[in-house]
Chains A and B, each alone.
Chain A
Amino acid sequence: MKNNQYSVKVFETTINDEEQFIAFFDSNHALFQDHLIVIHGDLSPRIEEYLEFRSLKYIHNVALPKGRSRKALEEELLLRERECAISMQIAEAKLEKLSTRLQNNLMVMDTMVRSGRELSIDGDLLLLNRVNSGATINISGNLIITKLVEGAIRCNGNFMLLTASPKANIIFHGVEVESELLENKLNRVELKNNEIIITPVLEKEISWA
């Protein structure tokens, strides 16, 4: 494939009056010998003949791409940057929502995890019962436990929702989470920008006894 790139001088004109057009080119045709004539409007055989007689190159009713000024280019660049920033903000906002960070294979369990039991789960787990002391849960996905955790948890998901007693041993992405921080009724543990963030979802009940 052989390619060439040129810049061509263009004379753009619209024909309203054939006599006037011919009169104009009679006096100026020498100037337009190396121009490309772009003609808008009706092109009669008489004009065609005339243009061939003068051996001028022409095209009819074509919109040519026009070069833009430097200022216009800068403005467009700025607009694109802004659009990019907005779409990133939207993506981040989506990431904030836990629901969009749920993974697949959600498993729902309503059995007690008794001492000595070792669960290894690939996916997410919703556990509606206790995890007793001496039990272990290894999980690759997200974890929600609605009752007290006294055993060991190894979680590598995006988030955990749980309540832990001081006896529990909780490791999130290889980092031990102090169970003192998880004594509220329900706690959210999540990974954001490589930081583990713990927020209480339900506060500890105050006993007045």
Chain B
Amino acid sequence: MGIVIAVISGKGGVGKTTATANLGLGIGLNGKKCVVVDFDIGQRNLDMILGLENRVVYDMVQVMDEEATVKQALIKSKVSENLFFLAASQSKDKSVLKSDKVQKLINSLKKDFDFVILDAPAGIESGYEHTIEFADAAIVVVNPEVSSIRDADRAIGILDSKSDKVKNGEDVAKYLIINRIVADMVESGEMLKSDDILEILNIKLLGKVPEDKGVIDASNQGKPVILDKKSIAGQAYVRISGRLCGQQVDMKDIEISDSGLFQKIVGMFK
């Protein structure tokens, strides 16, 4: 039996889909069987970021309506044989989701995979509620800015009241990824510190991802940034997926810029 993780954020554009693609690939490269499911029906993006645009034949809605089997709809990644992808429907909208069908789909995926990662849509509407309904855990992606944090706070509040696990008296594990950190701005006080974010959201920190221009290019090319060994964001996703697979990986403090450290050393010799 696998674990079902919903990747949520509340606000759009903070990097949910990028994080989903990179973590899925990271888990696959660690040798665990993983499936990523795009729940953003009507606005699917995950296929492009994974570089699997042209392979989509059947989508999730067709599987739920039993027009296709799960096996037919699953798309294998070009990079890792352990990673599979289930596309969202681009022509339908979020109203096609129904609780019993979602539960059936997730239960069938849980049997075959170690990790089932659900990419939630932005916002807190019915599409979001169906994504979190049957999740065992949630990864909350935020940017270090106040609007993103407030929206994430709201999304966590809904998770804590509407998830199936909570209704049965259990707890949904919640982990935080802080995305797009700029070390210089944190040092100068222009950007929120991760300690402050953790204080507000009060959930466990899974990892911090620095701002990296390479992410956009990687998405455009359909090669997730985790494959780029030189990219600092890619290295961060390697560490985070290692943690998800149960490895002990120390938190790297990316909030101190290298130039700052260098300048301090220079300052000592002045």
Contact at B202–A116, with CB atoms within 8 Å?
A: no
Specify which chain B residues have a CB less than 8 angstroms from the CB of A115 in the assembled complex: 150-151, 153-154, 157
Contact at A116–B200, with CB atoms within 8 Å?
A: no
Contact at A114–B157, with CB atoms within 8 Å?
A: yes
- Decide yes or no whether A132 CB sits under 8 A from chain B: yes
Total count of chain B residues near the partner, CB < 8 A: 12
CB within 8 A of B154: which of A112, A130, A134, A150? A134
Q: How far is the CA of A116 from the CA of B151 in the complex (A)?
A: 9
Contact at A130–B157, with CB atoms within 8 Å?
A: no
Minimum CB–CB distance for A152 against chain B, Å = 13
Count of chain A to chain B residue pairs whose CB atoms are closer than 8 Å in the complex: 30
- Decide yes or no whether A35 CB sits under 8 A from chain B: no
- Encoded as 1 (CB less than 8 Å from any B CB) or 0, chain A from 113 to 138 comes to 01111000000000000101110000
CB within 8 A of B202: which of A117, A130, A133? A130
Specify which chain A residues have a CB less than 8 angstroms from the CB of B153 in the assembled complex: 114-116, 132-134
Contact at A112–B146, with CB atoms within 8 Å?
A: no
- Decide yes or no whether B156 CB sits under 8 A from chain A: yes
Specify which chain A residues have a CB less than 8 angstroms from the CB of B200 in the assembled complex: 130, 132-133, 150
Q: How far is the CA of A130 from the CA of B202 in the complex (A)?
A: 9
Q: Chain A: interface secondary structure? A: loop
Minimum CB–CB distance for B19 against chain A, Å = 21
Specify which chain A residues have a CB less than 8 angstroms from the CB of B156 in the assembled complex: 114
Q: Which of B150, B151, B160, B202 has the most CB of A within 10 A?
A: B150
Q: How far is the CA of A130 from the CA of B153 in the complex (A)?
A: 12
Q: Which of B156, B160, B200 has the most CB of A within 10 A?
A: B200
Contact at B150–A134, with CB atoms within 8 Å?
A: yes
Q: How far is the CA of A132 from the CA of B154 in the complex (A)?
A: 10
- Encoded as 1 (CB less than 8 Å from any A CB) or 0, chain B from 194 to 227 comes to 0000011010000000000000000000000000
Minimum CB–CB distance for A116 against chain B, Å = 4
Specify which chain B residues have a CB less than 8 angstroms from the CB of A112 in the assembled complex: 202
Contact at B150–A117, with CB atoms within 8 Å?
A: no
Q: How far is the CA of A67 from the CA of B157 in the complex (A)?
A: 79
Minimum CB–CB distance for A183 against chain B, Å = 16
B residues in contact (CB < 8 Å) with A: 146, 150-151, 153-154, 156-158, 160, 199-200, 202
What 8 additional pairs, Cβ within 8 angstroms, besides A130-B199, A133-B146? A112-B202, A114-B156, A114-B160, A115-B154, A116-B157, A130-B202, A133-B150, A134-B150
A residues in contact (CB < 8 Å) with B: 112, 114-117, 130, 132-134, 150
- The 10 A-B pairs at the shortest CB distance, nearest first, are namely A114-B157, A115-B153, A116-B154, A115-B154, A114-B153, A115-B150, A132-B153, A134-B150, A133-B150, A116-B157
A-B residue pairs in contact (CB < 8 Å), sample of 18: A114-B153, A114-B154, A115-B150, A115-B153, A115-B154, A115-B157, A116-B157, A116-B158, A117-B157, A130-B199, A130-B200, A132-B150, A132-B153, A132-B200, A133-B150, A134-B150, A134-B154, A150-B200
